[in-house]
């Protein structure tokens, strides 16, 4: 596991991997977009299966894109389930 940003960058150079360029100002909120409340603020996760989270991301392949979906248990921080869709 990489211990620093420099080590990660060195590994990526060695393997010939490149990041997708970041789009400018993607983290700034827009006035016309709704802001939703964070319901877990101040809550304490005390036991397994109390709170789950999901994540969807896409992976670019030579033939197109595939989507990776993961369901995680926030108590144990382990992936409960995952699937790849085309």
pLDDT tens track for 60-85: 888 889 999 999 999 999 999 999 98
Residue 2 belongs to some domain of the structure: no
Residue tagged 């990776």 (tokens): 68
Residue 56 belongs to some domain of the structure: yes
Residue 25 belongs to some domain of the structure: no
Note the pLDDT tens digit of each residue in 33-57: 998 899 999 999 999 999 999 999 9
Q: What is the pLDDT of residue 29?
A: 84
Residue 63 belongs to some domain of the structure: yes
Task: Indicate the pLDDT class of residue 2, thresholds 50, 70 and 90.
Answer: low
Closest by CA position to 55, among listed 31, 39, 79: 79
Where in the sequence is the domain holding 69, given as residue range(s)?
48-86
Count how many domains the chain has: 1
Strand ranges (E), the chain? 52-61, 64-73, 78-85
Residue 38 belongs to some domain of the structure: no
Query: What three-state secondary structure class fits 40?
Result: coil
């Amino acid at each position: 596991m990489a211990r620093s940003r420099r080590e990660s960058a060195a590994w990526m150079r060695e393997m010939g991997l490149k990041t997708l360029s970041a789009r400018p100002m993607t983290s700034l909120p827009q006035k016309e977009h709704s802001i939703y409340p964070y319901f877990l603020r101040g809550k304490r996760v005390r036991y397994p299966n109390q709170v789950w989270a999901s994540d969807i991301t896409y992976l670019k392949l030579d033939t197109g894109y595939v989507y990776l979906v993961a369901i995680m248990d926030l108590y144990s921080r382990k992936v409960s389930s995952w699937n790849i869709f085309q």
